[in-house]
Amino acid sequence: MAATEYAWHALTAEQALSTLKARTSGLSEAEAGDRLLECGPNKLPEARLTGPLQVFLRQFRNPLIYLLLFAGILSLVVGDRWDALFIFGVLSLNAVIGAFQELKADASARALRSLVPQIARVRRGGVTREVASQDLVPGDVVELESGVSVTADMRLIEDIGLEVDESTFTGESMPITKRAADCLDAKTVVAERINMLHAGTSVVEGRALAVVTQTGPASQLGHIDRTLSQAASCAGAIPLVRRMAVLARQIALIAVALILVLGALLALEGQALRDIVLLAIALAVAAIPEGLPIAVTVALSTAANRMAQRNVIVRALPAVEGLGACTLIASDKTGTLTVNRLTVEAVALPTGKRIARADWQSHSLSKTMARLAEAAGLCNEAKLAVHGSPVGDAVDVALLDFARENGGDVERLVAADRLSIVPYEPTLRYAAVEADFGLETRTIVKGAPETVLAMCRDTDAYTLDIAERLAGEGYRVLALAEGSGRPGDGHIHSHLHDLVLLGFVGLTDPLRHGVIEAVARCREAGVAVTMITGDHPATALAIARQLGMDADDCSVVTGEQLEALADDRDGFARRVTSSQVFARTEPAQKLAIVRALEEAGHTVAVTGDGVNDGPALRMADIGIAMGRGGTDVARGAADLVLADDNFATIVAGIEEGRVTFANIRKIVLFMLATGAAEILMFLLAISLGMPMPLTAVQLLWLNLVTNGVLDVTLGFGRGDGDELKHPPQQKLSSLIDKDALTLMLPGAVLMTAIAVWVLQERLALGFSIEDARNHVLLIVVTFQIAFLLGIRNLKLPFWRWHAPENGWMFVGMAIAILLQIAAMTVPLLQRFLDTEPVEAEFLLLCAGAALVVLLVTEVAKRWLIGQQRARAAYQPATA
């Protein structure tokens, strides 16, 4: 019996039972069976997996691939089987690499299901029994206790000191106190529904009786699962993927246009169809950088290995560069910026004296401080595990750690004889304990300052102001007071007056080590940081200020305020883009925030560790999950995982991402420059009435083997060390801009002119067309090596050695030379490529021509560096 349209938190427990036609003794087995047939099992839908063959075939969906496939088919039509074999071999290799990466299956849906345990304790027909969690149905009455995970959405019926950990669900760092007796407004957000339990959370302390209201897809966990699926279906591609896709379309369009124009001109001149087809194939091969996917994959894989050494685990290779391109990090607070563990960080004594944690850890203790710490250990229900660590309520664990840090014997404090106890209840707002110390007893009280101060003597408005100032800094404040008496002096409640205030303790979820510096470095690198949390706005603002964010009350927006703007898209976008801190947000709102930021032009990296972060991690340009404290859902939805859960590690990732972008830019620049030289070489030769300078097979040899070896080595560059001193590059123009054209064109034009001159000169000397092409192939290889040497570092001249020099590039040059020597001397390759050894004089000509290309490229580079410095000097003056 599903009733998902009800706001269960707005009903009393009795009304919820009546609506569900249930009773506290539980459903009968027959009723449960009927409802299971009606509602279905309590589990999330299975995700359909894509088969390897389908993934492999999907790799061919690319304009460049279409063009090369067409060229391969034309080669078969005209009988050039070797050309076709080369073309199809290159395409297959690229497809295998792409499929291998994609087959790293995304397990986010399965991770969601794993959060729901297998067994639940339910009442059926008046008898308590254990059933499989997938057999739970609406109306089942479930018994819960400390340590039990919640298996479905439930309305509380009864509770005894119930506290629930919802940190992975709502982002709230502290356990939530639940109350069955409360009846809430229908519009209450999920994070504040204190009379409800949700699937995927767990009971920290206390006991409860609850009735199941929603199961499986109808639960809040099911809503997140659907949102995650929707995010996956409409999520935009990683920035690098978008840029490379645009670049591929542009190259394909240019190549097709050139082929059509030249084909039409040749047809008008009366050229044979076979010659036109051969030219079309050659131009397609020359224009398309078929080795680009391999080179980029190598660059990304190399960067992924470096990032792993810096605790950034890469799940999607393009995200390596994407992190460097991000302009804004939308960070979760709990478990990301903070450690997700309560600690006592500050103490305020009744005199107003403040003591920070660093002070009591490094200085001798005053008697007042020691007394306060001992009281914190006595009025405490935490226990010591076998290994000696405290376990129990997060607040009690923090207080027991505080007692230990201040010299308290926690074993003695935990084992102390407690004559009577008043456990903490939200309605009381305090807890108390009466401990036996032989001739006297000590009564210790802890709780809300205003409640405890009312039990104390010699306190006034100034004393309460001390606590309020501490709370204003984002601390959760508890007051501790004590009284004394003789054993047998009556019930503890008779002692809760005329107490002596010991002081106030401020608890907080502390910032991670190095996170303040990391936020500052992000700001220096041109990357904005915003915080999205389920915590209270005051807590969130205090954390933001500790982080050094320029946040004030106006820059904090709550989930409730965003909900009010849900129907005003423009107003919602303005509020999101003008805010730095988002508090009390729900999962769907986090997703909407990310969308609004992306629509505003940001490349957004989202961090998170909980179930509630899954949809936003999937939708964001770059999703970053926590590896240690994060859930499987978050890790499954993310592109990157931080092995140390430290926000500061993101800065290292940004640096590596920018190094990778620079490497990929060099790869693209190298491939397009050499490809442009090859195309111009064909156009110039044909316009002068000469035959094609190279065959299609020779071009494939050049582009895949020789060229491929060279450009791949550019992916091993380690950067110049100043990557974080520049703003992020996030547009297509950043790959191929005016600066890139300045570097490319002089060398490309020079390579074209010399290659065509060699072709013409060889033919004029009576060489056969095969011999002439053999010479052209060799000189083009030397040109490419020279050009690579010129652009290996875009800031230093080619003769200067850079400290983290890319040694693999020089290995690649040597391999390219050896391969070309093999092509001219190995009989099989000679027959295949129509090559043979050349005379010594021509080798000297190749070396001289390569030096000229290198010098021209160097002149262009130096001129460009001068222009960039002039622009940098001019901008501050005009700002």
Measured between its terminal Cα atoms, the distance across the chain in Å is 66
Q: Which of 80, 159, 332, 621 is catalytic?
A: 332
Residue 301 has pLDDT above 70, yes or no: yes
pLDDT at 303: 79
Tens-place pLDDT, residues 462-501: 898 998 888 878 788 899 999 987 666 666 777 788 899 9
Residue 216 has pLDDT above 90, yes or no: no
pLDDT at 383: 81
Domains and CATH numbers, the chain: 8-46+114-230 (2.70.150.10), 320-340+513-645 (3.40.50.1000), 343-508 (3.40.1110.10), 659-878 (1.20.1110.10)
Distance CA(725)–CA(657), nearest Å, equals 14
- Range list of H helices, 379-434: 394-405, 410-415
Residue 137 has pLDDT above 90, yes or no: yes
- Pairing state of beta strands 343-348 and 500-508? antiparallel
Work out the average pLDDT over 280-307: 71
3-state secondary structure of 121: strand
Tokens of 447: 């709780």
- Cβ atoms of 45 and 225 within 8 Å: the answer is yes
Nearest by Cα to 337 from 202, 174, 173, 475: 173
Distance CA(397)–CA(165), nearest Å, equals 15
Q: Provide the whole-model pTM.
A: 0.63
- Cβ atoms of 344 and 361 within 8 Å: the answer is no
Q: Is 332 a catalytic residue?
A: yes
pLDDT at 23: 92
Q: Percentage of the chain with pLDDT > 90?
A: 20
Query: Could you give the strand order of the β-sheet that contains 312-314, starting from the edge strand earlier in sequence?
Result: 312-314, 640-642, 622-626, 604-608, 328-332, 528-532, 581-583, 556-558
Residue written as token pair 């903070």: 338
Work out the average pLDDT over 736-765: 87
In this prediction, residue 224 has a pLDDT band, given cuts at 50, 70 and 90, of confident
Distance CA(246)–CA(9), nearest Å, equals 50
In this prediction, residue 456 has a pLDDT band, given cuts at 50, 70 and 90, of very high
Work out the average pLDDT over 134-148: 87
pLDDT at 127: 85
Q: Which helix (H) or strand (E) holds 878?
A: helix 840-878
pLDDT at 104: 45
- Cβ atoms of 173 and 167 within 8 Å: the answer is yes
pLDDT at 511: 84
pLDDT at 74: 73
Tokens of 446: 């802890």
**DSSP E strand stretches across 224-342:** 312-314, 328-332
- Cβ atoms of 598 and 621 within 8 Å: the answer is yes
Tens-place pLDDT, residues 328-346: 999 888 777 887 778 898 9
Tens-place pLDDT, residues 723-732: 777 777 654 4
- Cβ atoms of 190 and 380 within 8 Å: the answer is no
pLDDT at 877: 41
Residue 664 has pLDDT above 60, yes or no: yes
In this prediction, residue 701 has a pLDDT band, given cuts at 50, 70 and 90, of confident
**Residue with more model confidence, 274 or 356:** 356
Residue 631 has pLDDT above 70, yes or no: no
Sign of the dihedral defined by the CA atoms of residues 715, 720, 724, 728, in that order: negative
CA angle 842, 850, 862 (to 5 degrees): 165
Nearest by Cα to 760 from 677, 851, 681: 681
**DSSP E strand stretches across 527-642:** 528-532, 556-558, 581-583, 604-608, 622-626, 640-642
pLDDT at 875: 52
Question: How much is the mean pLDDT over the chain?
Answer: 80
In this prediction, residue 876 has a pLDDT band, given cuts at 50, 70 and 90, of very low
Residue 107 has pLDDT above 60, yes or no: no
pLDDT at 63: 63
Residue 797 has pLDDT above 90, yes or no: no
In this prediction, residue 230 has a pLDDT band, given cuts at 50, 70 and 90, of low
Tens-place pLDDT, residues 15-69: 999 999 999 999 999 999 999 999 888 887 665 555 677 767 766 766 666 766 7
* Helices and strands (H, E) in the chain, number of each type: 33, 24
- Highest average pLDDT, of 186-190, 335-339, 574-578, 673-677, comes from 574-578
pLDDT at 655: 86
